[in-house]
């Protein structure tokens, strides 16, 4: 008899269920989704109806740098939709052949299984249903040990238990700091600096510099994002600044003053309209830590870069929500813009690229990171 495996999950995990056709931002729309070689050839050779075959023949293209794990990419129609997605939002492949027929990446998402120190699984913040469950959560997020669902692949625990124990202790300290409701969320981010070996500081918030750094990161890194660029274009227009690379590297405070004034005013309105934000932001960060594996290194220099990127995650998400909900004042709009932000953050190279951009403008420092987080 096969051994029953257990996994550690956030408490919302057993309640998660895909919204299917009811999803406003389907996970296959506008994404660079890749399938394995085994899945690709299984789908190419699948016995199916003529209508499904027509969809399958257009759905995937072999990548020029193909590997066995990342062999073919998902194609999209002129609307940015997967060719397998029907008009009612459902997957034609799954409806005709069942869940077992769809590629492994489609069966797994938004779940992310990790086995560094024990089996763990969380759902990505990029999924709107995950965020809806987090928005409903009022108490600090707890974690449960459950029997691994059969739909998840089996896993092997890492082979260095002592290193795994240290990593988990560091991660648990991070989670405890993020769930300390005696402190504001930006203050909790500053408290994380101790984990990165940064000296404790009490800097004053600098809204102008925080605005510039957020605008810089988004304009330099998100211009080609199919998930976030549309949202960002509207938000930047609302602030009255260009959404274009190179626009914020040498801009003066005087030039940004009108935009910063709007940002401060919109921030105050956002706080009044969405009093749930501090709790929701806490859940976003805690879930991101668990899903993405932050912090991933014990080395001081690597930790500093990770902390800078992590603070940028919060700052950019807030920057976008403050702007987007100014014209779209609903819980659905809040969920949608946060999901778009995390599609950009969690499924790309943001964690690696954000510190590079900050270093270029000499903001990869305790003071620069503090201004980003506290803004």
Q: Do 209 and 353 lie in a common domain?
A: yes
- How many Å separate Cα 98 from the centre of its chain? 28
Query: Quick check: is 63 in a domain?
Result: yes
Dist CA 142 CA 8 (whole Å): 10
Q: Which domain holds residue 89?
A: 28-102
Q: What is the pLDDT of residue 198?
A: 61
Token code pair at residue 125: 């913040």
Same domain for 213 and 86: no
Preceding amide of 110 cis, omega within 30? yes
Give yes or no: residues 251 and 369 share one domain. Answer: yes
Domain assignment of residue 175, yes or no: no
Q: Is residue 10, in this structure, part of any structural domain at all?
A: no
- Compute φ and ψ for 360, nearest 5 degrees: -60, -30
67: in domain: yes
- Is 127 a member of any domain? no
Burial 166-199 (b: 16+ CB within 10 A, else e): ebeebbeebbebbbeeeeebbebbbbbbebbebe
361 and 234 assigned to the same domain: yes
pLDDT digits (tens, 9 = 90+) for 109-168: 888 877 766 788 899 999 999 999 999 999 999 999 888 777 777 777 666 667 777 778
Considering the domain boundaries, does residue 160 fall inside one? no
Provide the pLDDT for residue 277.
Answer: 96
* H or E element in which residue 203 lies: none
Asked whether residue 64 is domain-assigned, the answer is yes
| Structural domain total, the chain | 2
Domain boundary among 77, 102, 127: 102
Q: Write down the pLDDT at residue 196.
A: 66
pLDDT digits (tens, 9 = 90+) for 53-81: 999 999 899 999 989 989 998 888 888 88
Residue 38 lies in a domain: yes
Residues 195 and 309 in one domain: yes
**Tokens 């070996």 belong to residue:** 197
Mark whether 196 and 297 lie in a shared domain: yes
Give pLDDT < 70 ranges for the chain.
1-3, 28-31, 116-117, 157-161, 195-203, 296-301
pLDDT attached to residue 1:
45
CB neighbours of residue 330 within 10 Å: 11
Closest-CA residue to 359 (of 237, 223, 205, 213): 213
């Amino acid at each position: 008899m096969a051994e029953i495996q257990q996994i550690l999950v956030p408490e919302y995990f057993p309640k998660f269920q895909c919204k299917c056709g009811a999803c406003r931002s389907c996970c296959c729309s506008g994404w660079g989704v890749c399938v394995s070689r085994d899945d690709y050839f299984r789908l190419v050779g699948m016995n199916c109806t003529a209508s499904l075959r027509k969809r399958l023949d257009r759905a995937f293209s072999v990548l020029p740098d193909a590997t066995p794990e990342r062999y073919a990419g998902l194609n999209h129609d002129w609307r940015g939709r997967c060719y397998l997605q029907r008009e009612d939002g459902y997957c034609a492949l799954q409806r005709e052949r069942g869940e077992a027929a769809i590629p492994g990446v489609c069966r797994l998402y938004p779940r992310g299984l990790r086995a560094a120190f024990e089996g763990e699984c969380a759902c990505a913040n990029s999924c709107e249903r995950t965020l809806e469950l987090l928005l409903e959560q009022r108490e600090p997020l707890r974690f449960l040990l459950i029997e691994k669902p059969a739909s998840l692949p089996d896993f092997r625990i890492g082979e260095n238990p002592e290193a795994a124990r240290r990593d988990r202790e560091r991660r648990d300290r991070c989670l405890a700091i993020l769930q300390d409701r005696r402190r504001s969320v930006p203050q909790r981010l500053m408290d994380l600096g101790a984990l990165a070996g940064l000296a404790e500081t009490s800097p004053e918030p600098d809204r102008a510099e925080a605005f510039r750094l957020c605008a810089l990161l988004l304009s330099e890194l998100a211009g080609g994002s199919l998930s976030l660029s549309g949202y960002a274009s509207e938000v930047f227009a609302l602030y009255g600044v260009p959404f274009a690379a190179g626009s914020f590297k040498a801009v003066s405070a005087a030039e940004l003053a009108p935009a910063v004034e709007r940002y401060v005013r919109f921030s105050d309105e956002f706080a009044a309209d969405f009093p749930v934000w501090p709790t929701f932001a806490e859940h976003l960060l805690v879930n991101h830590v668990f899903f993405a594996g932050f912090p991933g290194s014990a080395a001081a220099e690597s930790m500093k870069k990770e902390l800078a990127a992590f603070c940028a995650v919060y700052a950019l998400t807030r920057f976008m929500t403050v702007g987007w909900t100014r014209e779209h004042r609903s819980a659905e709009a809040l969920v949608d813009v946060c999901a778009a932000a995390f599609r950009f953050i969690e499924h790309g190279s943001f964690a690696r690229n954000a510190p590079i951009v900050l270093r270029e403008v000499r903001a990869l420092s305790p003071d620069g990171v503090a201004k980003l987080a506290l803004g």
